[in-house]
Chains A and B, each alone.
Chain A
Amino acid sequence: MSTPAIEVSELTKRFGERTVVDRVSLSVAKGEIAGFLGPNGSGKTTTIRLMCGLLQPDGGSGRVLGHDILTERGAIKREVGYMTQKFSFYEDLTIEENLSFVAGLYQMRRRREVVRDTLKDLGLWTRRGQLAGSLSGGWKQRLALAACVMHKPRLLMLDEPTAGVDPKARRDFWDEIHRLAADGLTVLVSTHYMDEAERCHRINYISYGTLVAQGTVEEVVRDAGLTTVVVTGEATSEAANKLRGAEGVDQIAPFGNTLHVVGRDGEALRRTVARVAAETGTQVADAETSLEDVFIQLMGDARDNMS
């Protein structure tokens, strides 16, 4: 395989006393769609900014598209498309003016045509004269995304690009991402949605500034080593009460009439659930551990992110 699109090691960033990104090493292969997950405040945005050359790391090194993140920021900026978490285009410029501005900054040829095509693809051609600030939240996201792929970057860094976007637009967005990746574009995307995580080739889970899990979805689920059983029957709520805090039980999540019970210690879990099932007259079956179960487990394990 060729050199990875992103290869950073031991990246560290401190704000004052707090270490917000703690020795994060990350590798993303060319053409890969890498998911970046983690609870609020875990350091996703900060890590992305470090990799875009927008923040000066306090430690560590790395290359993005072969360029050093410490010394070759200019080259990185030309070849990376970065979509910020918060809308950061000019609200007092129209949609078209914003796109023209971006096209100009990237010194694109045939700017008019590129902007026109982008507007038409977006379905914003008729609204091109509208101020960007007056767009709805979801449309702002879509505009921002369109703006950051306009210069045909080789790497996209998307910070929660689909927050607040409706399901249809999200589906379209992910189809588009996969299409771009098939043509060789590399994508690093942060998200809080499980279904989106599952559409990534690989995921990286960060917690409290530390990378705690990475790999394909299957690998992450397998490495977590969790056992999941489903409890069904009439008295699931009674069973839930008895299971809470019991030996071997780490998570209980009701889904309609069923109960998902997750634990790290499989044997202890099965023993406890079997006992409770007998007491309450419910049935037990083995189940697949989902990515969400894993994440909730990881979040529970992590220290408080807000401290």
Chain B
Amino acid sequence: MSRWLSFARLWALLVKETIQMRRDRVTFAMMIGIPLVQLMLFGFAINTDPKELPAALVAPTQDRFTRAMVGALELTGYYRFVAPDATAAEAEEMISRGDVVFVVTVPSDFGKRVEKGDAPTILIEADATDPSAASGAISTLGTVAQQALQRETGNTSADPAALSVVVHKRYNPEGVTQYNIVPGLLGVILQLTMVMMTAMALTREIERGTMENLLSMPATPLEIMLGKVVPYLGVGAVQVVVVLAAARMIFAVPMMGSLSVILLGIFVFVLALVILGYLISTVARTQMQAMQLTFFFFLPSLMLSGFMFPYRGMPGWAQALGEIFPLTHFLRLIRSVMLKGADVHTVAQSLLALTVFVLMLSLAALMRFRRTLD
């Protein structure tokens, strides 16, 4: 039994922490409830291949070609023309207000050009606020419109005067699908609950005054840290089982890679999270502060990790910033393994990054830990 760690003491701390966790009904319910609710909300509500997006049509001459094309577009299910006869100014206002996601502009010489056999042009402006939202709608557009025109002109031959579609929007390389969301959600759920719970655990002792007593007894900083962190690792394990089971059974997310690599990745990630939470609780004075610090960390990591927006679609500085969040590395790892079947060598870099986080955070937490009440 070394100076730093006695198993008898650690055991006493673990038992105490587990009992407290069990007695705190609300928190306990939250630990299981948060994953389920988030999974349902994100999994079902966030539809990254949205249909029936509101659109405005600017077509000064509503000729039969225009009507045919619009009809065909509506048939794809992606577009819903809420303003089928708008002026350019009206349409501009609608898209800026967010009333429509698309503005389809058919120039006044469209019909003439089709009849003359000149290459006609249409313009699509997509609301790029959510760059991933419009990708499905846009990708179908060219072919659908072309086919509609061909039907209408009765010209089925290879058409020299092909329709050209000009799209104004941001490119979105990682087309986010629902498969992409659920594994990412595992990381987000773990991050929220693990960091927050552990961040509160030590601060609670300070707030309730029990820290004075704990510090006056012979427990070492390492024991106190492990005593706080290990029970939450257990909670994390339960959450992982819940989310992975739901991913499989409710969302039918494929599991391409090996489960053991996934679990290894999750373990290192969760370890980094609970230690981060512990670090926060050595800084915060009250539970409220701990909560605020957690969110201060949580929100940017949500934005920059590639969960909300495609990582490769972000500007370079944002990508660099994203690297400092464990979630970024975890998302890379879990998506590669779950969806692309990557093996442990392929994700070695992410695993290494997560391990570095664990080591650095532990060191910082042990250094930050106040052995006194100062």
Residues of A within 8 A of B (CB): 49, 52-56, 73-74, 77-78, 80, 82, 84, 86-93, 97, 100-107
Other-chain residue from A49, A91, A102 in contact with B217 (beta carbon distance below 8 A): A102
CB-CB under 8 A from A86, the residues of chain B are 209, 212
Of A52, A82, A101, which is within 8 A of B16 by CB? A101
Contacts of A55 in B (CB 8 A): 372-374
Interface centre among A54, A56, A78, A100 (most CB of B within 10 A): A54
Q: Please, could you name 25 A-B residue pairs with CB atoms under 8 Å apart, sorted by A?
A: A52-B216, A53-B372, A54-B212, A55-B374, A56-B374, A73-B371, A74-B218, A77-B217, A77-B218, A84-B209, A84-B213, A87-B209, A88-B212, A92-B19, A92-B23, A93-B16, A97-B15, A100-B12, A100-B15, A101-B15, A104-B9, A105-B9, A105-B12, A107-B8, A107-B218
What would 17 more interface pairs be, CB under 8 Å, given A56-B374, A82-B216, A105-B218?
A: A55-B374, A73-B371, A84-B212, A84-B216, A88-B208, A88-B209, A89-B213, A90-B20, A91-B208, A97-B15, A97-B16, A100-B15, A101-B15, A104-B12, A106-B218, A107-B6, A107-B8
Chain A residues whose C-beta falls within 8 Å of the C-beta of B16 in the assembled complex: 90, 93, 97, 101
Task: For B371, list chain A residues within 8 Å (CB).
Answer: 73
Whether, in the assembled complex, B76 has its beta carbon less than 8 Å from a beta carbon of chain A, the answer is: no
| Chain A, Cβ-Cβ closest to B373 | A54
Please indicate the chain B residues that have their CB under 8 angstroms from the CB of A87 in the complex: 209
What number of residue pairs across chains A and B have CB atoms under 8 A from each other? Answer: 81
> How far does the alpha carbon of A97 sit from the alpha carbon of B22 in the complex, in Å?
13
Residues of A within 8 A of B3 (CB): 74
CB distance from A80 to the nearest CB of B (A): 8
Contact residues, B208-230 vs A (CB, 8 A): 208-213, 215-220
Complex-state Cα separation, A73 to B371, whole angstroms? 9
Which residue of A is nearest B223, CB measured?
A105
Are A77 and B12 in touch, CB under 8 angstroms? no
A130 to chain B, nearest CB (A): 13
Report if B42 contacts A (CB, 8 A). Answer: no
B210/A88 in contact, CB under 8 A: yes
Task: Tell me, yes or no, whether B240 is within 8 Å of chain A by CB.
Answer: no
- Checking A78, A92, A103, A104 against B20 with a beta-carbon cut-off of 8 angstroms, the contacting residue is A92
CB neighbours of A104 from chain B (8 A): 8-9, 11-13, 15
- Alpha-carbon separation in the docked complex, A294 to B217 (Å): 37
- The reply to whether B372 and A101 form a contact with Cβ atoms under 8 Å apart is no
Chain A neighbourhood of B20, CB < 8 A: 90, 92-93
B 14-31 binary contact with A (CB < 8 Å = 1; else 0): 011001100110000000
Please give, as numbers and ranges, the residues of chain B lying within 8 Å of A88 by CB-CB distance: 208-213
The 6 closest A-B pairs by CB, nearest first: A104-B12, A88-B213, A82-B216, A107-B8, A77-B218, A101-B16
Across-interface contacts of B9 in A (CB, < 8 A): 104-105, 107
Instruction: Name the residue on A nearest B370 (C-beta).
Output: A56
Residues in B323-374 with C-beta less than 8 Å from chain A:
371-374
| A97 / chain B contacts, CB cutoff of 8 Å | 15-16, 19
Find B19's partner among A73, A89, A93, A103 (CB 8 Å cutoff). Answer: A93
Interchain CB contact under 8 A, A77 and B216: yes
Q: Which of A49, A93, A101, A102 is within 8 Å of B373, CB to CB?
A: A49
Whether the pair A89, B210 counts as a contact (CB closer than 8 A) is: yes
Within 8 A of A (CB), among B99-152: none
Q: Smallest CB–CB gap between A115 and chain B, Å?
A: 12
Closest A residue to B219 by beta carbon equals A105
List of B residues within 8 angstroms of A84 by Cβ: 209, 212-213, 216
Contact between chains at B210 and A54 (CB < 8 Å) = no
CB distance from A140 to the nearest CB of B (A): 12
A contact residues around B8 at 8 Å (CB): 104, 107
Chain A nearest Cβ from B85, distance in angstroms: 67
Q: How far is the CB of B335 from chain A (nearest CB, A)?
A: 40
Q: A101's closest neighbor in chain B, by CB?
A: B16
Residue interface bits B215-253, CB-to-A below 8 A is 1, else 0: 111111000000000000000000000000000000000
How long is the Cα–Cα vector from A89 to B214 in the complex, in angstroms? Answer: 9
State how many angstroms separate the Cβ of B299 from the closest Cβ of chain A.
31
Kindly list chain A residues whose C-beta atoms are within 8 Å of the C-beta of B208.
88, 91
Expressed in whole angstroms, the Cα–Cα distance for A79 and B251 within the complex equals 58
Known contacts A88-B210, A92-B23; decide if A54 and B15 are in contact (CB<8 Å).
Answer: no
B218 / chain A contacts, CB cutoff of 8 Å: 74, 77-78, 105-107
**Taking CB as reference atom, which chain B residue is nearest A84?**
B212
CA distance A38 to B17 in the complex (A): 37
With a CB–CB cut-off of 8 A, which chain A residues contact B220? Answer: 74
- Identify the interface centre among A74, A82, A88, A89: most chain B CB within 10 Å of its CB: A88
Roughly how many angstroms separate A82 CA and B216 CA in the complex, as a whole number?
Answer: 7
Set of chain B residues within 8 Å of A103, measured between Cβ atoms: 12
Interface string of B156-191 (1 = CB under 8 A from A): 000000000000000000000000000000000000
Cβ of A90: which chain B residues have Cβ within 8 Å of it? 16, 20, 210
- In whole Å, how far is B211's beta carbon from the nearest beta carbon of chain A? 8
Nearest CB in chain B to that of A144: its residue? B213
Chain B residue at minimal CB-CB distance from A45: B212
What distance in Å separates the Cβ of A154 from its nearest Cβ neighbour in chain B?
14
B23 cross-chain contacts in A, Cβ below 8 A? 92-93
How far does the alpha carbon of A238 sit from the alpha carbon of B372 in the complex, in Å? 56
Q: Which residue of B has the minimal Cβ distance to A97?
A: B19
Q: For B15, what are the chain A residues with a Cβ–Cβ distance below 8 Å? A: 97, 100-101, 104
Shortest CB distance A81–B (Å): 9
A21 to chain B, nearest CB (A): 13
Give Cα A93 to B19, complex, Å: 7
| Residues from chain A with Cβ under 8 Å of B209 in the complex | 84, 86-88
